[in-house]
Chains A and B, each alone.
Chain A
Amino acid sequence: MAESTGTATADMIVGDGDDGVRRRDFINIAAVSFAGIGGAATLFPLISQMAPSADVLAESSTELDTGAIAPGQAIKAIFRKQPLFVRRLTAAELAEANAVGLDDLRDPQTLADRTKEGHGDVLVTMGVCTHLGCVPLGAAEGENKGEYGGYFCPCHGSHYDTAGRIRKGPAPTNLEVPEYEFTSDSVIRVG
């Protein structure tokens, strides 16, 4: 009709403002909101695709046998693509670790806190320095064990004692003990 020939302006649909949201505005607001919800919902798969995939998660438990480790020896294994140190402490190392007073420690933990009952001489830690993630030395024969006879991180000079506790250097916390359990007398399952 000729009456509606006039210029269409956006004001016509924005509404008058003072008399609040009217029914026809409500439809527009609802439509835009739904588009927004849809857009936000699509973000979910886009973000979660970067989380570990099923095959990576499936690899995230490691079983290994500690039976063959002689006192004073350590083995390196791989847990979640990171080094895992498993060490059987000698009597001297046990004594040394237990002799330290908790007040002297940056991150106070006893050796018993860090091992499993009945297997107090098996120390399972991540081989990842808690400073910036280098692999500390001391697990293999002949490597520098640091001033406290445990592990030594060459990157920035963190010294760990025989219980894997931080004693000197920049690292803030003890070497992490991952979740693990003994599934038999000698076999542990990490993760």
Chain B
Amino acid sequence: MIRLISILAGLGFAIAALWSFGKGAYVVMTEGMGEQSAEYALHEKVRGPEGGFSFEGPVGNWDRQQLQRGYQVYKEVCSACHSLNYVAFRNLAELGYDEGQVKAEAASWQVPGIDPNTGEATSRPGLPTDKFPSPYPNSVAAAAANNNAIPPDLSLMTKARKDGSNYLYALLVGYGEPDPAKLAEYPEFETPTGLYFNKYFPNVNIAMAPPLTADGQVTYSDGTEATISQMSKDVAAFLTWTAEPTMVKRKQTGWPVLGFLLFATILAWLSKKQIWSSVKPRKED
């Protein structure tokens, strides 16, 4: 009885699913799969240029010079619009700055504070324990200043995108004009006013104006030539660090753990083999 009911129920589910399949197939056959949009076609889906970062791979390590350069790019360019909410000035010590430099760096930023005498909101120089300040007092102000597109917080940006470090680098160097050959197929395509064409941005029209526009936009103290590509690479490295400051420690912890587990597993295998040798029949030749 239960099997009779189940067969009927099973046929019911199957027919209902096939019903959807049939109607869907009919729609596809009569109307086609739908045309792809110009944005879809113009988006470079192949992996963009890669940054060749030192921290990649299982034994990668930070390039502290690069992180310091990237921090400089963030400070002088990105921080005008983007916050870094989850990072504190004290964390900069991990970039190779000593205590005095961290303090001086923190003090070079203005953070929200309270006047100790009146209690009024004011700003004061940052302390190492402070987090990086937001450029806007709140999201409404951020939206109002940026044509309704709120500049996202950058702390976790490279983790919030697939292959984030390379994505960010590609995005920063991806501004320009659409490929004319592809554009010819979509004569209607036009980047709306207030947006900028970027072939590595999923929707190709990005609200962020090109932030790095000229070589030498920042002046590196270590003598590295500040090309757009170099600055993009450096800031992508810096933002990888902000997204996961423990990344290198994680990988470095992983190796001894793996080595230990490998050895312990070999021992466990030998032990298992030895214990079972008393009951396992030998294979007959």
A binding-site residues for B, Cβ under 8 Å: 1, 4, 8, 12-13, 24, 27-28, 30-32, 34-35, 37-38, 41, 54-55, 58-59
Contacts and interface: CB of A to CB of B under 8 A. Distances in A.
Nearest to A29: B271
Given A1-B282, A28-B275, A35 B90 contact: no
Given A1-B284, A34-B263, A8 B278 contact: yes
B91 to A, nearest CB: 8
B279 A4 contact: yes
Contacts of B123: none
A13 B264 contact: no
A77 B65 CA distance: 39
Given A31-B270, A58-B128, A38 B264 contact: yes
B143 interface: no
B267 interface: yes
Q: Top 10 nearest A-B pairs by Cβ distance?
A: A31-B271, A8-B279, A34-B264, A31-B267, A12-B278, A24-B274, A28-B271, A27-B270, A58-B129, A58-B90
Contact of A27 (B88, B260, B271): B271
Given A35-B264, A58-B129, A13 B274 contact: yes
Given A1-B281, A13-B274, A13-B278, A30 B260 contact: no
Contacts of A4: 278-282
A38 B274 contact: no
Interface in B242-276: 260-261, 263-264, 267-268, 270-271, 274-275
Among B128, B270, B282, B284, chain A packs the most CB atoms within 10 A around the CB of B270
A54 to B, nearest CB: 8
A13 B271 CA distance: 10
B216 to A, nearest CB: 36
10 contacts: A8-B278, A13-B274, A24-B274, A27-B271, A28-B271, A34-B267, A37-B260, A55-B88, A58-B129, A59-B129
Given A13-B278, A58-B88, A59-B129, 12 more contacts: A1-B282, A8-B279, A13-B274, A27-B267, A28-B271, A30-B267, A31-B264, A31-B267, A35-B264, A38-B264, A54-B90, A58-B128
A28 B268 CA distance: 8
Contacts of B261: 38
A99 to B, nearest CB: 37
Nearest to A8: B279
Looking at chain A's contact residues, the main secondary structure is helix
A28 B272 CA distance: 8
Interface string B59-94: 000000000000000000000000000001010000
A92 B141 CA distance: 57
B237 to A, nearest CB: 22
A32 B15 CA distance: 56
Q: How large is the interface on B (under 10, 10 to 19, 20 to 34, 35 or more residues)?
A: 20 to 34
Contacts of A54: 90
Given A58-B88, A58-B90, A58-B128, A31 B279 contact: no
B284 A31 contact: no
Contacts of B128: 58
Nearest to A1: B281
Nearest to B272: A31
A1 B284 CA distance: 8
Nearest to B261: A38
A144 to B, nearest CB: 27
Nearest to B129: A58
Contacts of B88: 55, 58
B245 to A, nearest CB: 10
Interface in B121-137: 128-129
Contacts of A28: 271, 274-275
B276 to A, nearest CB: 9
A34 to B, nearest CB: 4
B246 to A, nearest CB: 10
Contacts of B271: 27-28, 30-32
A178 B274 CA distance: 61
Contacts of A34: 260, 263-264, 267-268
A58 B284 CA distance: 69
A31 B90 contact: no
